[in-house]
Structure 1
Amino acid sequence: MTRSLSTNNTLPAAFVSMPKETDKIKVASKDFSDVTLACPLANMRLAVKDLFHIDGLSTAAGNPTWAKTHPTPDTTNSSVSALIQAGARYVGKTLTDELAYSLNGQNIHYPALYNPVTPDRIVGGSSSGSAAAVSSDIADIGLGTDTGGSIRVPASYNGLFGLRTTHGVIPKDNMVPLAPSFDTVGWMCKSIELLEEVGKVLLPKSKMLASDSQANEIRIFVASNLIAASEQSREIQNWLTTLSKVAITKGEFDVIAMDTSNTFRILQGFEIWQQHGQWISANSPKFADDVEQRFKWCKSLSLTQQEMAKSQQQTIKHYVDEIFEQHDLILLPTTPGLAPLIGQEPSEMASYREELMALTAIAGLSGRPQIHLPLFKIDDAPCGLSLIGKLGEDLKLVQLAKQLIHTSKLAPKERHIQ
């Protein structure tokens, strides 16, 4: 039986449902309210993207037709269960862009969601509600997914730490997929310390930073051309000069020549239609215009296009693998710059999306973990940088990032454009 959840208009816009005080929802035989201080995440408020199944709660995946045409889950996603078992306190299911197929954080089926940090700019998606919930201090942990940037982008726009995990390192059971071979579980927090604590619950602990590794140099490949083209170029370059115990190699990552954006979009789009095409054709759900156009484009993709993109993916993976033979991290901008202003023309947003995905596709195509560090502000709007790590070394990536932040002599800076 579906449990009663508050779904009225008094909900914060970040949420699609929140538990009533009387709700007793069981996860892995543990009540949501059954938290002890001995648990590593004791009383940390957990917001869960509305793609993850929770026993007895409807999953809408950002589209009402999806909820109407799918049964209420009777099982709970293992990551949600693990976080609850570790002491986190569930505070609600959060808004997602439709079927998670957008990076904007806008959904025509729900009240408008504004960026809590800069309300005149988009919040970013598709883990939009989880980001807004953490940014506005309604939650401490925002659990989400990342296929083409859905953790990294809203983390950047909302000034949060965000981790996209290595492909396949965290189970994707009991959740709505977008493109399964690219889908990953991720999360956002205001502090890197909490981001790490969540990782210790969800990630394998076999590849952590050794206790004596602080004496070792961190070898960083800096994608200089991508940084130079970003709005936060000055901030990133200044921050690099403050680091200690690092060996920096400045190089080029030619995302245009490698066609990272188009390669990823074709592979993702082909897989999306294989996953959802039959349901879309059978139910004719209402989508926002831009989302609908993307689904139509997915339908048009041919097997030949997919095979060519697969070949290019191998070229990109080989290049990334070669970098990691000599380096521990790749440093690059998470996004081209600040979150776009609300109300930009669809053509402008489409062009920006392609530029954005050229950056986010690097980790996606190579299957690697990536962490966003919210180190800067420009005109009160958050921005930062990303570190891509080695395959399966997600916790080590977070710990290396924390080490870099702590050894930097430069506190986060804010710049105002005159």
Structure 2
Amino acid sequence: MNSSFNSPFVLPVNLNINNVSNTKAPQPLKGWTLAVKDLFHIDGIVTSAGNPDWADSHPLPTKTSETVSRLLDAGVQYVGKTITDELAYSLNGQNIHYPALVNCLDNERICGGSSSGSAVAVGRKLARIGLGTDTGGSIRIPASYNGLVGFRPSHGLISLKDVVPLAPSFDTAGWITNNIEDAVEIGKFLLPKSVEKHFMAAQPLVLNNLVESCEFKNELYTWLDSKFDKNWQSSLAVTSELLKDASDAFRVLQGREIWQTHGDWIKNTQPRFADDIQQRFQWCSTLSANDELAAIEQQQRLIKTVSLILNQQHYIVIPTTPGPAPRRDTSAREIAEYRKKLMQFTCIAGLTGCPQLHMPLFQQKNTAYGVSIIGPKNSDLELLFLGKQLMENIE
């Protein structure tokens, strides 16, 4: 791990939280340190959402996010708000308004975003819990790039009240940790207990098209054969064409909601954005109702296909990303092309609302990458326990 790095925290770090819990209830996470993505409101602390113009044009929060409050009630120690990509609309972990964050394993690679600061805070052992949001991959991607555990819950399961939205139909609140045991403990506190037994006899089903297009397919196949004694199934039901169409549909549906959510503020405030983010917002403004209807059709195709798989006593196994984090000197054009490919890996959970757990199984030469499991909607706690089981004996 590199010793020279910029702080992942929004400075100055304000530790004067006005609603520190006085609860007498049990505190299962007592003493755990918490880094909070700068989208979650905390009473008396500025929320900038990664952009100074947002902070300047919005009032100081007078309420604390429900999810942050629950964690405080559990006994966590807040250590600061963390840098996010602007309005969370990027997967790179680069923000022109702050000193550059770098990968925890290699200074020459990006850290991924948009929950970039939360991931780096955990990866640098500055916090035990990195609280973030995930719309199109913003927890799963930085977790993968930095060799961490990342969990995106089922859509709507964790409260996003008093959190700056991006695209509400896809936004989720989740967490990043250094190990699966911590991720499970957080889930045991935050997640509702499921009455169903989704994985009693479940079999792993691997989406071959994604595996074949990732850079570490041989390692992944070796792990599958070893872990399941070659007793796993593969599927071509989620075709390359379906994944491409689904990824495009996600971008459109997300973009329509982003403009509906933030379009008026952008037009009225004229905030300064990084060029790539400005271009994406501009593109969002051009999307029509007909574009949205066509994208919904593609979303429903994916939902139907994935539901058939999950209803047949399977959970889905995919590589979380195409490979390790891109280098920081990768051209803007190459990053834009890579983003399109990356979103074919991340769009399944986004469009279906299913939970996804990233497991950091592989690391070499200062790079990390891993595998995700996706379960039926609201199988979250069981999925975390399954992940813990699958990660046993991982060196």
Relative to the length of structure 2, the TM-score reads 0.94
Q: From the superposition, tell whether residues 89 and 59 of structure 1 become closer, same or farther in structure 2 (CA, over 3 Å).
A: same
Cα deviation, residue 379, structure 1: 2.2
Residues in 2 aligned to 1:297 and 1:346: alpha-carbon distance in whole angstroms: 17
Q: State yes or no: 1:114 paired with 2:102.
A: yes
Query: Kindly, what percent of the aligned residue pairs are identical?
Result: 49
- Kept in 2, the 8 Å contact 1:97–1:127? The answer is yes
Equivalence for 1:236: 220
Equivalence for 1:249: 233
Segment of structure 1 superposing worse, 289-298 or 200-209: 200-209
Residues in 2 aligned to 1:82 and 1:346: alpha-carbon distance in whole angstroms: 40
Q: From 9, 17, 25, give the equivalent of 1:25.
A: 17
- Kept in 2, the 8 Å contact 1:101–1:126? The answer is yes
Cα deviation, residue 195, structure 1: 0.3
How many pairs are equivalent?
389
Segment of structure 1 superposing worse, 354-363 or 223-232: 223-232
Residues in 2 aligned to 1:352 and 1:164: alpha-carbon distance in whole angstroms: 22
Residues in 2 aligned to 1:54 and 1:243: alpha-carbon distance in whole angstroms: 43
Q: State yes or no: 1:201 paired with 2:195.
A: no
Q: State yes or no: 1:383 paired with 2:369.
A: yes
- Kept in 2, the 8 Å contact 1:35–1:88? The answer is no
Query: AA paired with 1:123?
Result: C
Which consecutive residues of structure 2, in runs of 5 or more, have no partner in the other structure? none
Query: AA paired with 1:404?
Result: L
Residues in 1 aligned to 2:77 and 2:229: alpha-carbon distance in whole angstroms: 39
- Kept in 1, the 8 Å contact 2:18–2:44? The answer is no
Equivalence for 1:262: 248
Residues in 2 aligned to 1:398 and 1:304: alpha-carbon distance in whole angstroms: 38
Q: From the superposition, tell whether residues 255 and 119 of structure 1 become closer, same or farther in structure 2 (CA, over 3 Å).
A: same
Query: AA paired with 2:44?
Result: G
Q: State yes or no: 1:14 paired with 2:8.
A: yes
Query: AA paired with 1:14?
Result: P
Q: From 164, 176, 179, give the equivalent of 1:176.
A: 164
Equivalence for 1:54: 42
Q: State yes or no: 1:163 paired with 2:151.
A: yes
Equivalence for 1:329: 315
Query: AA paired with 1:254?
Result: T
Cα deviation, residue 30, structure 1: 1.4
Cα deviation, residue 348, structure 1: 0.3
Which consecutive residues of structure 1, in runs of 5 or more, have no partner in the other structure? 1-10, 413-418
Q: From 208, 213, 233, give the equivalent of 1:224.
A: 208
Residues in 2 aligned to 1:157 and 1:257: alpha-carbon distance in whole angstroms: 26
Relative to the length of structure 1, the TM-score reads 0.89
Q: From the superposition, tell whether residues 24 and 341 of structure 1 become closer, same or farther in structure 2 (CA, over 3 Å).
A: closer
Residues in 2 aligned to 1:226 and 1:105: alpha-carbon distance in whole angstroms: 23
- Kept in 2, the 8 Å contact 1:207–1:392? The answer is no
Segment of structure 1 superposing worse, 264-273 or 321-330: 321-330
